[in-house]
A = this chain, B = another copy of it.
Amino acid sequence: MIKAGIIGATGYAGATLVYLLNNHTEVEIVYLASHSYAGQSFSSLYPGMRNSVDIILDEIDINKASNICDVVFLALPAGHASSLVSQSILDNTVIIDLGADFRLDNAEVYKQWYKQEAAPANILKQAVYSLADIKPFNAGATNLIANPGCYTTCSILTLAPLLINSLIDSTSIVINAMSGVSGAGRKANISTMFCEVNGSIKAYGVSTHRHTPEIEMALSKLSHKDVIVQFTPHLVPMNRGILSNCTAKLKKGVTKEMVAKAYNDLYNDSTFVNLLDYGTFPETRFTLGTNRIDIGYVLDSRTNNIVTIGAIDNLVKGAAGQAVQNMNLKFNLDPTLGLTNCCANPY
């Protein structure tokens, strides 16, 4: 059994991870930590887990965690993970970070978008950004895995086949994504109160959202060219789910068949990528509680655009589920273990 710990276990991503790991046949949860709720039991916060996960939450202690765990998951706000992870920690255990601190390989870009210092260079260079459904990224010899973001996972998986195969103009991409409120994390502030969100929709972080450089980095690497995207996220009055509407100009001569081949080639063997019939489009509700992405697209001959749309559960495929998938890859388990019938604790 793999001994697992979670630091930041009571947030939405952290609690989803607790749920998934608790049902994973090869994992034993041995350590849970939370700054806000240290001293309380996990199940006192999530009564649905009574008698399943009654572990008392520890104050955050990465040394202790690394000593007793084979793998430690970090689910913390930006800037926290990079202050916790040192070389001695990495020598001791596997770290899978659900946050952003180790995702961008360029420290300058991190600083520019996150308005704080990047992780130390010697640590950062060990990080592997692992989009678990696309091979080149998969976790290898490293002990430091950067788990991709939620908007980014959805947008990258939706666009990758088109860019890898040079089917679209890489300067024309417009991504409008819509997310449920759990994406904002479980911290009290006015802007995510029920009455401020319910019955309304808004864009936010327009031209400044931090997932932008992550999408561009990953798509550029995959396609070996500079990809730039106009990424605009929107807040939707629902708990979970992300939809990424990606619109781009098709290159001259690109046909429906070429697009279909591109998607099939990349995702044919993937358990977790569900290509919908041509002209049908995903709904977030059908992905809730699963580690799946549903993708549908149409080529519009009037405009020469392709509109390709992906949908995921931001807390599973966009966070905890992909983290488990990355753990499976790292520990040479069946990559689908604990994820085929997953249905995370609903919020």
Contacts and interface: CB of A to CB of B under 8 A. Distances in A.
Interface stretch (A94-102, A124-132, A233-241, A323-331): A233-241
B307 A201 contact: no
Contacts of A240: 199
A294 B201 contact: no
Interface of A: 12, 23, 46-48, 50, 171-172, 174, 176, 178, 180-182, 186-190, 192-204, 206-207, 228-230, 232, 234, 236-241, 243, 245, 247, 274, 276, 279, 281-290, 292, 294, 298, 300, 302-303, 305, 307, 309, 311, 341-347
Contacts of A238: 198-201, 237
Given A236-B201, A236-B237, A241-B199, A300 B230 contact: yes
Given A247-B174, A298-B207, A193 B195 contact: no
A18 to B, nearest CB: 13
| 7 nearest A-B residue pairs (beta carbon) | A343-B343, A200-B285, A202-B283, A176-B176, A48-B286, A188-B188, A207-B300
A346 B289 contact: yes
A346 B347 CA distance: 12
A83 B309 CA distance: 38
A298 B307 CA distance: 23
A309 B346 CA distance: 21
Contact of A194 (B194, B228, B285, B305): B194
A101 B187 CA distance: 31
Given A281-B204, A298-B207, A239 B189 contact: no
